Structure 1
Amino acid sequence: MSGARWKRASPAASASVGFFRLPIEARNKIYQQVLVVPHPLYLFQDPGCQVETFAPETPYQWLALLYTNRQISNEARAILYGINRFTLQDAGQRQGSLLKSFLNCIGPVNTGLLSYLCIDFPATERTESQLGRIKLREDSVQSLQLLQKECTRLKTLEVLLYSQDSRDLIQTDQEINIKLVQEILSEIHLQFQDIASLTKIIVRVCNGSPASSVKEFMQGLGWIVLVGDRYVGAVGNEE
């Protein structure tokens, strides 16, 4: 068990010349052995504090490579951010703040290396002006726009669906207005498509169960729908 604060790397001055005689493929394998973990890296932020990570079963100084030498730091960061899965822990409207803080903290270069993020499913709410209509909550729209702008190599987006934030999707087929739900899901899909590099969308239902018509529509959009604690490995395999 370990915790670490995410901050910009400030590499030390020296490194072993012999290490750089190894081909980049060999160096990358070393970086992977040290920095890639088989589970998600869980990000959280207490009020007024820096973003921190919960990384089970990692050594206390497992990020030390990032502060060794400028070249090592650059190569290692590409592995750390490009292969690991990052999961935002804060739920609800606080998550947008956590996402922004995390991306600001690691900087634009590292943000551009991220390939796998896990966030909450975009939250919806009923509109006051049009009775019965559903719309995306503004904080969710802002988070998606941030991903579109900053995460230029994001390949996989996993979204966690909780009934309290998306209660209109967690209903029975008899209760649900499928036309309204299809409209909001299509709007969310358009937002996802605006993340230009994205190739995989995973919807994980964490509590409750979506109506069968909702699940079928999600799958028709090309989303992978999972229920419960199963997760997808770093290369996209269910585990």
Structure 2
Amino acid sequence: MSSNQEAGSTSTSPPSGRNFLDLPIDIRYDVYTRVLHVPHPLYLFREPGCPVETFAPEKPIRWLALLSTNHQIHREASAALYKTNQFHLMDTTQQESNLLQSFLDCIGPVNAASLSHLCISFPAAENIEGQPGQVKLREDSLQSLKLLQDQCAKLSTLEMIVHSKNSSVFRETDDFLQGALLSIDAQFKAIPSLKRIVVRATVHDGVPSASAKDFMRGLGWILISDSGS
């Protein structure tokens, strides 16, 4: 074989020194999403005096190991982690806003702005003292919604759970209920990124009523009950 033939048959070696970060960002992001997305919600809770913890059912082994690779990958992968997963707050008391605040503080403003899907308790409402017929959101519920407005710039889906501890609003008069729902909806409209509002009712005994469901659907909300309706 001639030297020219030998030269022509020599395969070209890949450039040396290439690594994962040499890939285009969209390819890296696709990898982050495939590794870090889980098909079930991530449940947030906190014991008194303790930091926020996350319960991830059936999470993969070394699920978050990618975040420990280096600073750049940690930053890029964290954005994918918070954008592609659902986070459910597991607090049915008036302290839920504190849990939400602690969670947002823990992950930092950049990651908070990446969140796309959150689940909270259905906001509570009350009468305005001295103003019969006037309704306002309870302070803790309003605080939670303000946190979402101020810190979750990419929030696109918000789920709300109606449970035994916050279903009293649905047992009030139609005027009170509609006033409360309109107040809640006004807060949602202050989150420009919000595209999908889901209400999950886990209580029974006619709550929410058919008329309440119709009113919420009229606001563009999605209603899901225990029966799936």
TM over 0.5: yes
Q: Which residue does the alignment assign to 1:212?
A: 210
Provide the secondary structure at the position in 1 that maps to 2:109.
helix
Mapped pair 1:180 → 2:176: yes
In the alignment, the residues of structure 2 paired with residue 131 and residue 18 of structure 1 have an alpha-carbon distance, to the nearest angstrom, of 67
Alpha-carbon distance between aligned partners in 2 of 1:108 and 1:128, rounded to the nearest angstrom:
36
Structure 1: 5+ residue runs without aligned partners? 1-15, 231-239
Paired residues in the alignment total 210
Tell me the SS of whatever aligns to 1:91. Answer: coil
Distance across 1 between alignment mates of 2:87 and 2:160 = 12
Residues 11-30 of structure 1: CA distance to partner in whole angstroms, max 9, x if unpaired? xxxxx942123333332222
Structure 2 CA distance, aligned partners of 1:68 and 1:186?
47
Deviation, structure 1 residue 167? 1.2
Partners of 1:195 and 1:163 in 2: CA distance: 27
Partner of 1:11: none
Alignment match, 2:84: 83
TM-score where L is the length of structure 1: 0.81
| Matching residue's letter, 1:158 | E
8 A contact 1:206–1:229 mirrored in 2: no
User: Is the Cα contact below 8 Å between 2:88 and 2:119 reproduced in 1?
Assistant: yes
Counterpart amino acid of 1:216? D
Q: Any conservation in 1 of the 2:199–2:224 contact (CA below 8 Å)?
A: yes
How far 1:166 moved relative to its partner? 2.8
- What code does the residue aligned with 1:221 have? L
Range with greater deviation from structure 2 (54-63 or 99-108): 54-63
Structure 2: which amino acid aligns with 1:47? P
* TM-fit CA distance, 1:177: 2.1
Query: Sequence identity, in percent?
Result: 52
Deviation per residue, 1:65-91 (Å, 9 max, x gap): 222112211221121011100000011
For residues 111 and 158 of structure 2, the distance between their equivalents in structure 1, rounded to whole angstroms, comes to 17
Q: Hey, what's the Cα distance between the residues in 2 that align with 1:26 and 1:42? A: 29
Kindly indicate whether the alpha-carbon contact (under 8 Å) linking 1:41 and 1:55 is maintained by their aligned counterparts in 2.
Answer: yes
Q: CA deviation at 1:128?
A: 4.7
Q: What amino acid is the match of 1:167?
A: S
Q: Paired residue for 1:201?
A: 197
Summarize deviations over 1:146-171 as a string: whole Å, max 9, x none: 111111111111111124313131x4
| 1:26-105 equivalences in 2 (<5 Å) | 26-105=27-106
Structure 1 residues 225 and 214: alpha-carbon distance in aligned structure 2, compared to 1, 3 A threshold: same
Greater relative CO (CA pairs within 8 A, separation 6+): 1
Q: Structure 2: which amino acid aligns with 1:181?
A: L
TM superposition shift of 1:132: 6.5
Tell me the equivalent position of 1:162: 163
Q: Is the 8 A contact 2:89 2:119 kept in 1?
A: yes
- Distance in 2 of aligned mates of 1:17 and 1:92: 52
Q: Which residue of 1 aligns with 2:224?
A: 226
Root-mean-square deviation (CA), in Å?
1.9
